[in-house]
């Protein structure tokens, strides 16, 4: 049975706990600022300063369970710390997720309930594929990117690092999206996005007040 420590105790952590329980995994505890508090029924066993000691356990895997607030930079920062302290990292894959045996899933990524990852898709490290999101054949998802609930990433799409693909958005086949791009909820992306920033609407357009 896989043992996990989740780093980050907010709403995304609760979703991860649910998937871990349904899959029969053992959640040892949570790392967050509120030491001694509980997330659902699981205790916060330490804060970030305790990570080096916790990482000494050979049988425990760590996952970043901080969700995206305004960017994925915090997730990336925490993940780098896990690498620096040589923490074990393993992906959390929900029991109801459908993943092709021909797909590749990077370390410490979270694949939540009813997500679909099709043949020859490549998902990077520290990625969130949220509930009922679809990653189609040959798509590539960069490190630290979050594909939100019911988003559809069609075949041969390439999405960079540190991106947020909003709930219910659709990325058409073969599109390329640069690093550090946010796609708003419900947006339809019909052409390549080659500069950082926030893109919304159908078809997706860059927000005028976005300096990215």
* Binding-site positions: 146
Q: Could you tell me which residues are annotated as the binding site for acetyl-CoA?
A: 146
Cβ–Cβ under 8 Å, residues 176 and 193: yes
Q: Rg of the chain over CA atoms, in angstroms?
A: 17
Residue with tokens 């369970």: 65
Q: How far is CA 97 from the centre of its chain?
A: 14
**CB proximity list for 46: less than 8 A, separation 6 or greater:** 29, 31, 35, 53, 54
d(CA 88, CA 208): 42
Cβ–Cβ under 8 Å, residues 61 and 3: yes
């Amino acid at each position: 049975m896989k043992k996990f420590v989740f780093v980050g105790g907010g709403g995304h952590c609760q979703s991860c706990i649910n998937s871990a329980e349904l899959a029969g995994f053992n959640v040892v505890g949570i790392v967050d600022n509120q030491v001694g508090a509980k997330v659902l029924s699981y205790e916060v066993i330490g804060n970030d300063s305790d990570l080096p000691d916790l990482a000494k356990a050979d049988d425990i895997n760590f996952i970043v369970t901080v969700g995206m607030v305004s960017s994925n930079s915090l997730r990336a920062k925490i993940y780098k710390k896990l690498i620096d302290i040589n923490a074990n990292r393993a992906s959390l894959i929900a029991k109801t997720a459908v993943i092709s045996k021909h797909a590749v899933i990077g370390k410490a990524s979270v694949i939540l309930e009813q997500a679909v990852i099709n043949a020859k898709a490549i998902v990077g490290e520290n990625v969130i594929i949220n509930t009922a999101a679809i990653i189609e054949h040959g798509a590539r998802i960069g490190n630290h990117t979050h594909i939100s609930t019911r988003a559809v990433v069609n075949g041969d799409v390439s999405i960079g690092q540190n991106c947020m693909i909003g709930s219910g958005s659709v990325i058409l086949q073969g599109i390329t999206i640069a690093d550090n791009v946010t796609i708003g909820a419900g947006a339809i992306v019909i052409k390549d996005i080659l500069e950082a920033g926030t893109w919304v609407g159908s078809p997706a357009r860059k927000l005028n007040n976005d300096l990215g």
